[in-house]
Amino acid sequence: MRVMKSKYLINSYLLGSCMVFLLAVNPVFSQNGDLQVIDKIIAKIDNYIVLKSELENAYYDYLSSGQSTPPDLRCRILESLITNKLLVAKAEIDSVVVADEEVDGNLERKLQYFISQIGSEERIEQYYGKTIEQFRDELREREKEQMIIQKMQSVISEDVSVTPAEVKDFFESIPSDSLPFFSKEVTVGQIVKIPTLSEAQKDKSKQELLGLRNRILSGEDFGTLARKYSQEPAAKNSGGDLGYQPRGVMDPKFEAAALSLKPGDISMPFESSFGIHIVQLLDRRGNLYHSRHIILIPETTSEDIERTIQEMDSLRTLIKNDSITFEKAATEHSEDKGTSSSGGYFLDSNGSNSVSVKELDPTVYFTIDTMSIGSITKPLTYKRADGKQAIRILYYKDSKRPHQANLKDDYQKLYHAKLNQKRNRVIAKWFDQAKGEVFINIDEEYNSCDILK
């Protein structure tokens, strides 16, 4: 059940703001049983297009969400798809861009979350029939497009604000029989530490890589050895080849090692945040460089784990004795980037630390289900989405029972709902003005939608 829910979550992300990445065509069977693929362009917005399959997949994804279905749902979704493409087209005209580092950072966080929900990289590869690197490469353009859309929306609606009085009026305008019902919500934080590897374990991997380096220098093929020995899953297909990458994307230590080489040279073994590498620089073109590597990930020993558990137990004692707040300890000591920036707390899609138990990782939920509010667990060993073993402590700060929406408990949700309502009105007004500034053509099949009127 968890896997099916996780696949739905990933597909929903891939759809984005009514944007489709997978299932880009609609398969149908001809009378003789042969599989045929039917699709067509239903809208052109400058250099961007909307496919019929995008509309249909977004439509059926909405139906599967269980929400009420308005009679003009397809028209609304098509207008949303066209608006998104118009936002991207106008961003290009107005020179609104997002940095590659931001795109890669966002993508990696989402990908690691998906992996944690599905269970492993291997299960994602099995489900989608492609390596995790191929999956990442294909997701990257969609992530970049979504971030450009979000940035354009922010630029357009940057002056929109909401007052407490508006939130109150918004809440009171909702009929009592239409107020949403929220499931149980919890406020939970974590502090995570990855066990520090012993120098002996690191030296063992470095010696092994030195041997591989010498074999390459003696004439053996780098790619063949990478496929056989590298502990990067994608190396089985890529031979360790990372392609051309812009500066500032890869791990800083990896990039420094690669860029210190001349084309063709192979580095001595070095450590990055991912493991121990040797890297070969293949080519440089301005801000881009082409490299390949072999990585070994030293195994964590029981001594490494025990040492980290003791460190975490000492930090837990300081928190319990009020020598340091949980939030400060998480910010300063946690190695989980997804939660350390929020004082250790898990956040929902609106940035609130009051999270529905439906959105919480099952392992975390089952742990806090045995805890009392205000308590902190002893150090717990668990496996992160990237496969690394880690130690964490969980803090169960607060809980809200299932309830119907009210101003006191759900002010932040109502605030964001009102803010989004006002932003949507501003963006709709912008669309009416901007649609005359770019070329837009919509298939006559959808004339009844009156999107351009």
Task: Tell me, yes or no, whether 168 lies in a domain.
Answer: no
Considering the domain architecture, whether residues 185 and 119 belong to the same structural domain is answered as no
pLDDT value for 22: 28
The CATH number of residue 319's host domain is 3.10.50.40
CA distances from 325 to 54, 315, 317, 395, 412 (A): 48, 10, 11, 11, 24
Task: Tell me, yes or no, whether 172 lies in a domain.
Answer: no
Backbone angles phi and psi of 50, in degrees to 5: -120, 125
Considering the domain architecture, whether residues 191 and 318 belong to the same structural domain is answered as yes
Sheet holding 389-400: strands in order across? Answer: 355-356, 185-193, 389-400, 380-383
Burial of 85 (0-12, 13-18, 19+ CB in 10 A): buried
Considering the domain architecture, whether residues 77 and 216 belong to the same structural domain is answered as no
The SS3 call for residue 45 is strand
Contact 431, 86 (CB under 8 A): yes
Task: Tell me, yes or no, whether 376 lies in a domain.
Answer: yes
Contact 443, 74 (CB under 8 A): no
Which of 266, 296, 326 is the C-terminal boundary of a domain? 296
Considering the domain architecture, whether residues 315 and 328 belong to the same structural domain is answered as yes
Nearest to 193 by CA among 387, 345, 380, 341: 380
Considering the domain architecture, whether residues 20 and 149 belong to the same structural domain is answered as yes
Considering the domain architecture, whether residues 128 and 210 belong to the same structural domain is answered as no
Considering the domain architecture, whether residues 244 and 367 belong to the same structural domain is answered as no
CA distances from 264 to 242, 292, 440 (A): 15, 10, 49
Considering the domain architecture, whether residues 311 and 359 belong to the same structural domain is answered as yes
| Element containing residue 29 per DSSP (H, E) | strand 26-29
pLDDT value for 126: 77
Q: Which two tokens stand for residue 54?
A: 């995008």
Task: Tell me, yes or no, whether 390 lies in a domain.
Answer: yes
Contact 236, 227 (CB under 8 A): yes
Considering the domain architecture, whether residues 101 and 43 belong to the same structural domain is answered as yes
Which of 296, 316, 331 is the C-terminal boundary of a domain? 296
| Domain encompassing residue 388 | 181-196+301-404
pLDDT value for 387: 65
pLDDT value for 4: 41
The SS3 call for residue 69 is coil
Q: Which amino acid is at 258?
A: A
Give the count of domains, the chain.
3
Task: Tell me, yes or no, whether 258 lies in a domain.
Answer: yes
Which of 296, 318, 344 is the C-terminal boundary of a domain? 296
Q: Give the residue ranges of DSSP H helices in 281-410.
A: 302-320, 326-333, 337-340, 362-368
Task: Tell me, yes or no, whether 409 lies in a domain.
Answer: no
Cβ count near 95 (within 10 Å): 6
pLDDT value for 15: 43
Task: Tell me, yes or no, whether 114 lies in a domain.
Answer: yes
Name the one residue in this structure whose structure tokens are 């798809």: 81
Query: Left if phi > 0, otherwise alpha if psi is -120 to 50, otherwise beta: which for 286?
Result: left
3-state DSSP percent of the chain in helix, strand and coil, to 5: 50, 20, 35
pLDDT value for 8: 43
Considering the domain architecture, whether residues 258 and 361 belong to the same structural domain is answered as no
pTM: 0.60
Contact 216, 298 (CB under 8 A): no
Cβ count near 164 (within 10 Å): 10
Strands (E) in 335-388, as ranges, are 355-356, 380-383
Considering the domain architecture, whether residues 33 and 146 belong to the same structural domain is answered as yes
Considering the domain architecture, whether residues 264 and 309 belong to the same structural domain is answered as no
Each residue's pLDDT, cut to its tens digit, for the chain (453 residues) gives 344 444 444 444 444 433 332 223 333 333 444 444 458 999 999 989 999 988 998 888 888 777 778 888 999 999 999 999 999 999 988 888 888 777 877 787 777 667 766 667 777 777 777 777 777 887 888 888 899 998 999 999 999 999 999 999 999 999 988 888 888 999 999 999 989 888 888 999 999 999 999 999 999 999 999 999 998 877 878 899 988 888 887 888 999 999 999 999 999 999 988 889 999 999 998 888 999 999 998 888 888 899 999 999 999 999 999 999 999 999 999 998 889 989 999 988 777 888 999 888 888 999 999 999 999 999 999 887 666 789 999 999 999 999 999 998 889 889 989 998 999 899 989 988 888 888 999 999 999 998 887
Q: Which two tokens stand for residue 134?
A: 């191929």
Contact 162, 425 (CB under 8 A): no
pLDDT value for 386: 62
Calculate Rg over the CA atoms of the chain: 25
Task: Tell me, yes or no, whether 260 lies in a domain.
Answer: yes
The CATH number of residue 109's host domain is 1.10.4030.10
